[in-house]
Amino acid sequence: MIVSKLSQWSEYRAVTALLSVVILGVPTHAHSGEDVMDTLQMHGFLSQALVITDDNNFFGPSSQDEGSFEFTEIGLNVSLRPHQDVLLAAQMLSRRAGGESSDAYPELDYGLIDYQMVSDQQRTFGIQLGRIKNPFGFYNQTRDVAFTRPSILLPQSLYFDRTRSLALTGDGLTFYLEERLDNGVIRGQLGLGIPQADGGLNQTLQLHRIRGSFDPQQSGIAQVRYEHDAGRIVAALSHAHVRSQIDTHSPSVSDGDFYFRPWVFSLQYNQELWSLTAEYALRRSGLKNFNQPALNFDTTGESWYVQYTRRFYNDWQWLIRYDSLVSNRDDASGKAFEASGLGPDHSQFADDLTFGLQWTPHPQVMLAGEYHHVDGTGWLPPQDNPDSSATSRHWNMWLFQLSLRF
Neighbours of 115 (CB within 10 A): 12
Do the bridges between strand 233-248 and strand 256-270 make them parallel or antiparallel, or are there none, so unpaired?
A: antiparallel
Taking the C-alpha atoms of residue 373 and residue 125, their distance in angstroms, rounded to an integer, is: 44
Q: Report if residue 62 sits inside a domain.
A: yes
> Considering the domain boundaries, does residue 3 fall inside one?
no
User: Which range of residues forms the domain containing residue 65?
Assistant: 11-405
CA–CA distance from 282 to each of 196, 206, 245 (Å)? Answer: 21, 21, 22
Give per-residue burial for 252-280: e unless 16+ CB within 10 Å, then b.
ebeebbbbbbbebebebebeeeebebbbb
165 in any annotated domain: yes
Burial class (CB in 10 A: 0-12, 13-18, 19+), 97: buried
Q: What is the full per-residue pLDDT of the chain (406 aa) written as tens digits?
A: 433 333 333 444 444 444 444 434 444 445 545 678 889 999 999 999 999 999 999 999 999 989 999 999 999 999 999 999 999 999 999 999 987 777 788 999 999 999 999 999 999 999 999 999 989 899 998 888 999 999 999 999 999 876 676 667 889 999 999 999 999 999 999 999 998 766 555 555 555 556 677 788 888 999 999 999 999 999 999 999 988 888 887 788 888 888 999 999 999 999 999 999 999 999 998 888 888 887 888 999 999 999 999 999 999 999 999 999 999 999 999 999 999 888 999 999 999 999 999 999 999 999 999 999 999 999 998 888 989 899 999 999 999 999 999 9
Question: Domain holding 110: CATH number?
Answer: 2.40.160.10
Whether residue 389 lies inside any domain: the answer is yes
**Cα within 13 Å of Cα(3), Cβ side:** 31
pTM of this structure: 0.87
Other beta carbons within 10 Å of 206: 13
Instruction: Decide if 152 is inside a domain.
Output: yes
5 occurs within a structural domain: no
Q: Which residues pair with 280 in a beta bridge?
A: 265, 304
Confirm whether 46 is domain-assigned.
Answer: yes
Between CA 143 and CA 375 the distance in angstroms is 24
Q: Is residue 340 part of a domain?
A: yes
Structural domain tally of the chain? Answer: 1
